[in-house]
Chains A and B, each alone.
Chain A
Amino acid sequence: MVQLLIYLAIVLLIVAVAQLARVFELASALKGGLKNKPTERDNRINGILWMVYLIAFFAFIIWQLLSYGPRMLPEAASDTGVKLDWLFNFNMIIIFIVFVITHVILFYFAFKYYGRDKNRATFFPHNNRLELIWTSVPAAVLAVIIFLGLKLWSEITTPANDKTSEVIEIYTKQFDFTVRYAGADNTLGKANYKLVQGANILGLDSTDTNGCDDKIVKGELHLPLNKEISFKIRSQDVIHSVYFPYHRAQMNSVPGMTTLIHFKPTISTAEMRKKLKNDKFDYWILCNKICGTSHYAMKLMVVVETPEEYSAWLKKQPEFMPKATASLPPAPAAVEPKKEEKGM
C-alpha cells in the first residue's frame, strides 16, 4: 500500500513539473517572446548542455570500464578463444576510436553552432570529395575487418579430425545437459530418438557395437587439458544452445540435426583457480537459447583436468551397455565413415 502511495506521489510530482513548465512558458510569452519557439537563450543553454553531456557521457563510460572491466570474463581458456579475444580487441579498438571521434564532433558542432539571432547558416549542400573519402575509408577498414574475421571463422568452422580428437556428445533437453563419452574406440554409437525409453535416456541403438563402450554422465563435463575436443551436439525437444563462456565457444542444439563444435582447452580448472585466486571457481556450460520456463537454470559444470586425471576419472564411469562388450571382440581403432553432419 505504501509503495502505491509512493508511486502516486511520483506521478503527481511529474504533473507538478509539467505545470511549472507551462507557467514558465506563459511568463516568457508575457515578456514578448513567441511561446514555444526556441529563443537564442534556449539554443545557448541546450548547446552548452550538449558539451556537459559529452563530458558526463565519457566520464560514465570510463567509470564503467574501470568498475565493470575487471569483472568481465578472464583470459580465454581455449585455443580458439585466445584468437577470438585478439580479434575482438582489434575490432573494439577500431570502433571505439570511431565512436569517440564522431561523438566529440557531433556534440561539439551541436554546441558551437547553436542558433544566434544575427547568424546565418552556410549553404553547403554537397561535396563529392568528402563523400568519396568517407565512403572509401570505411570500406577499406571494413575490408580488413572482413578478411581477418572470415579467416578465423574458416579456421573455427573447419570440422575437427575425429581420429585425433576426443569425441564427446552433449545431449540437451528441457532442462539439463547429458554427456556421452565415446570410450576407447573414440566412436559414438548410433542413436535414434525413437529408442529413448526408460533407462535409455539417449536412445542408444544396442545393435551398434561402437556404442558398447560409450559412457553416459550427468552433472559434470570433464575435459582433458590441451587435447582437441570434438563435440557432437543433439537435442531431444527444442532448440537449446551449448554455451561455454570461458572457452568462447557456442553452438545451438537442434532437434533433427547433429551440430558440431571443437576447441582445445588450454587452462585447467586448477590453473584458472590459481590465476583468479578463487578456490571456488568453475567452468560452466550455460544454455543460451530460450528453451522454456527453466531456461535460466539449465547449466552444466565443466572440469578441465590433466589427461592423467581425465583418464582416471573416465575409467571410473560405468559403460552404458557393458553386457555387449563381454561377448564382442574389441572394436577396431579405425573408424567407419559417418553420415554428413552439419555445423562447425
Chain B
Amino acid sequence: MSMDIHATHDLNDAHAGHHDHEHHHEESFVSKYVFSMDHKTISRQFLITAVIMAVVGMMMSVMFRLQLAWPHEGFALTNFILGDKWAPKGVLDPNMYMALVTLHGTIMVFMVLTGGLSGTFSNLLIPYQVGARDMASGFLNMLSYWFFFASSMVMLLSCFIESGPASGGWTVYPPLSAVAEFMPGSGLGMTMWLVSMSLFIVSSLLGGLNYIITVINFRTKGMSMTRLPLTIWAFFITAILGVLSFPVLFSAALLLIFDRSFGTSFYLSDIIVNGAPLEQTGGSPILYQHLFWFLGHPEVYIILLPALGLASEIISVNSRKPIFGYRAMIGSMLAIGFLSFIVWGHHMFITGMNPFLGSVFVFTTLLIAIPSAVKAFNYITTLWKGNIQFTPAMLFAVGLVSTFISGGVTGIILADSALDIPIHDTYFVVAHFHIVMGLSAILGMIGGVYHWFPKLFLRKMNKTMGYIHFWITFVCAYGVFFPMHFLGLAGVPRRYYTNSEVPMFDNLMDINVLITCFAILAALGQVLFLFNFFYSMFRGEKSEQNPYNANTLEWTTPMKHTHGNWPGALPVVHRWPYDYSKPGEEADFIPQTVPLRPGEVDGGGHH
C-alpha cells in the first residue's frame, strides 16, 4: 500500500520555497488570530469553542437531571439560569425540559464531539503528522471554523427566543418538528435549529474535504500510507464518512424546511392539527428517519473513530511499545467505516419497517461488532508487557478502552431487533449511547487535550490536577450511566419530563437521585479541568520539544508557533511511527526521521 509519491515532495518544497521568498508577509491581528488560515490557530479555535459549548451542554444536563431526581421541586440554580418564564420558582417548565434535552443532545453530538474532536485534532495533527506546511486549503479551513462558530452562535441564540428552542429531541422527527402547533419549540426554535445545523454541515464538509486532500496529497517524502500514525488513518476515514453522509442530513433538513414553510408533504400525511385536517398528504415520516439516520449512524463513528485514533497514539507512546496490530487496526477502522453506512436501520426497528429489511440491518450491525472487538483486544495487548507512563492522558485512554467495551457490548443487545422491541427508547438505550459517546469518545478527547497540550499551547497542563480530574470523572462516569441500564430494564422511557406520573416507577426514584448526584459531582470535577486548561494556557510550565519521547513528526517542530511548521526543509521519513523499545536500539524510541541502519527492517517486522 505504499504510495510514496515523489511529486508530493516537490509540491511541498515549492510551497516551502514560496514561503522563503514571502518570509515577511505581514499579518494583522485579525488575519493572524481571528481569520487565521494556519491550521494550528484554527485547531485552537475549534477547541475553545467546543469547550465552551461542552460547558453549556453539561449545565443543561445538570438542570434536567435535577428535575428528574426531585420532580417538581424548585432549585435556585435553575431559576438563576433560566429565569421566571422557564423555571418559575425554580421548577423546570416541561417545554423547557424538552428543549434542554434536545439542545444537550445536539450540542454534545455535533458541536462538542464532532467539531471539538475532529475539528481540533484533525486540524492540529494532520499537517504535523504527515509532514506538511499546512492544510491543502488554509482559506477553506478558516471558513470551516467560522461556519462552526456561526452554527454554535445560532444554536445558543435559539435559547433566548420567546417560544423556546427546538424541543423534539435531538433527532427532531417530523411531524412533531414539522408543525409549529404541535409543540412550542417546533416554531421559530426549530427553524433556528435547522439553520444552525445547515451551517454546521457546511463547516464539516469544508473541513472534511481539506483533511482528505491533505492526507492523500501532502505527505512528506518517505511518508507512505503505511507509515502514517493511526491518528491520521482515523481522521482520514472519519473525513470520508463525513463527506459522504453529512449531505444526506442536509437533504433531510432541507426537505423538513420545505414541509414546514413551503407547503410540501415529504414527511406529512393524514394529519389533524387543531381539529382540522392538514392540507399536506402523501408523505411519510419514515422517509425523514431514513435520511436522518443515514447520517446519524456514520455520525457516531465520526465521533468515535478520531477518539480511537487518539487513544492508539496515547496508549502506544505511554506504553513505550508499538500499537499492537497496526495493520489490523487500519483494517478494522476501514471495516467499521464501510459497515457504518449499512446499519442505520437499527435505529428504526420499531417504526413499522418491513421486517425483512430489519433483518438485514441486524446482520450488518452485529458484523460491526467484530472489528470493534479486534480494536479493543489490540489496545489491551498493547498494554501487555509495556512500561506504562501514567500521564493524565494515558489514564483517559485506558478509561476509553473500558467504556468502549462496556458501551459496545450493550450495543449487541440493541442490535438484535427482537431484543430491541422491549427496550427501544428506554433508558437502556440512553445508557448505551452515553457510555460509548459521552464517556468513551469524550475521554479520548480529553486525553487528547492533555497529551497534545504542548503542541496546542507550548506549555504543559498540571499533572496532579489531571490525576484528580481523571479519577473523579471516571468514578462518576459509571455512577451516572450504569444505573440507567436498570431503569431501562424496568421500562422507564426516554425523554420523560418526570417519572412521577407513572405509578409503576414510584419505587425507582432513588435510582434517579443516585444518577443525579453522580452527575453533579462529575460536573464539579470538570471545573477542575477547566481551571487547569485555561490556567496552563497562560501560566503552565513551558514544555520541551519532545516531552514524551515520541516518534511522530509533530514533536520535531520548534517550541514556538512557526508558520509553515518547520523553519527549514520538511522532514524526511524513514520508518513507521511505532519503533518504541525496539530491540538492538539503546533508546526506547526512534523518531520517524531517523534513517534505518544497514540491515534494519522497518515497520515492526513487516516486509
Binding site for B on A (CB under 8 A): 1, 3-4, 7, 10-11, 14-15, 17-18, 21-22, 24-25, 35-38, 42-43, 46-47, 49-50, 53, 56-57, 60-61, 64, 68-69, 71-73, 81, 84, 87-88, 91-92, 95, 98-99, 102-103, 105-107, 109-110, 113-116, 119-127, 130-131, 134-135, 138-139, 142, 145-146, 149-150, 152-154, 156-158, 173-174, 193-194, 196-197, 236-239, 241, 243, 245-246, 248-252, 254-257, 259-260, 280, 282, 284, 286-297, 299, 342-344
Question: Does the CB pair B489–A149 fall under 8 Å?
Answer: no
Question: Does the CB pair B389–A84 fall under 8 Å?
Answer: no
Number of A-B contacts (CB under 8 A): 390
Kindly list chain A residues whose C-beta atoms are within 8 Å of the C-beta of B471: 49, 53
Interface size range on B against A: 35 or more
Bound-complex Cα distance A42 to B465 (A): 13
Apart from the given pairs A157-B355, A239-B173, A287-B493, 9 other A-B contacts in the complex at a CB distance below 8 Å: A35-B463, A53-B475, A99-B405, A120-B320, A122-B384, A124-B381, A237-B179, A251-B350, A292-B183
Question: Does the CB pair A193–B374 fall under 8 Å?
Answer: no
Question: Does the CB pair B461–A57 fall under 8 Å?
Answer: no
Question: Does the CB pair A3–B359 fall under 8 Å?
Answer: no
User: How near does chain A come to B69, taking the closest CB pair, in angstroms?
Assistant: 15
Interface string of B566-580 (1 = CB under 8 A from A): 000000000000101
User: How near does chain A come to B308, taking the closest CB pair, in angstroms?
Assistant: 15
Q: Is B322 interfacial (CB 8 A cutoff)?
A: yes
Question: Does the CB pair A102–B376 fall under 8 Å?
Answer: yes
Neighbour of A95 across the interface among B410, B418, B464, B493, CB < 8 A: B410
- Between-chain CB contacts (< 8 Å), 19 pairs: A14-B527, A49-B471, A53-B475, A56-B475, A71-B507, A106-B405, A110-B398, A113-B319, A115-B387, A115-B389, A121-B588, A122-B321, A124-B385, A146-B363, A237-B272, A243-B425, A289-B425, A295-B496, A295-B497
6 closest cross-chain pairs (CB), A and B: A125-B604, A245-B491, A256-B269, A157-B355, A259-B352, A343-B352
Q: Is B89 interfacial (CB 8 A cutoff)?
A: no
User: How near does chain B come to A219, taking the closest CB pair, in angstroms?
Assistant: 15
Neighbour of B373 across the interface among A17, A134, A236, CB < 8 A: A134
Bound-complex Cα distance A43 to B541 (A): 21
* Nearest A-chain residue to B409, judged by Cβ: A95
Question: Does the CB pair B588–A237 fall under 8 Å?
Answer: no
Bound-complex Cα distance A274 to B533 (A): 59
* Nearest A-chain residue to B372, judged by Cβ: A138
Bound-complex Cα distance A135 to B406 (A): 19
Question: Does the CB pair B417–A110 fall under 8 Å?
Answer: no
Q: Is B438 interfacial (CB 8 A cutoff)?
A: no
* Nearest B-chain residue to A50, judged by Cβ: B398
Bound-complex Cα distance A248 to B402 (A): 30
From 383 to 406 in chain B, residues with beta carbon under 8 angstroms from any chain A beta carbon are 383-391, 395, 398, 401-402, 405-406
Q: Is B508 interfacial (CB 8 A cutoff)?
A: yes
User: How near does chain B come to A121, taking the closest CB pair, in angstroms?
Assistant: 4
In this complex, the member of A99, A124, A126 whose beta carbon has the largest number of chain B beta carbons within 10 angstroms is A126
Neighbour of A125 across the interface among B388, B467, B499, B605, CB < 8 A: B605
From 35 to 58 in chain B, residues with beta carbon under 8 angstroms from any chain A beta carbon are none
Kindly list chain B residues whose C-beta atoms are within 8 Å of the C-beta of A14: 524, 527-528, 531
* Nearest A-chain residue to B410, judged by Cβ: A95
Question: Does the CB pair B528–A17 fall under 8 Å?
Answer: yes
Kindly list chain B residues whose C-beta atoms are within 8 Å of the C-beta of A71: 486, 490, 507-508
In this complex, the member of B366, B493, B495, B604 whose beta carbon has the largest number of chain A beta carbons within 10 angstroms is B493
Question: Does the CB pair B524–A257 fall under 8 Å?
Answer: no
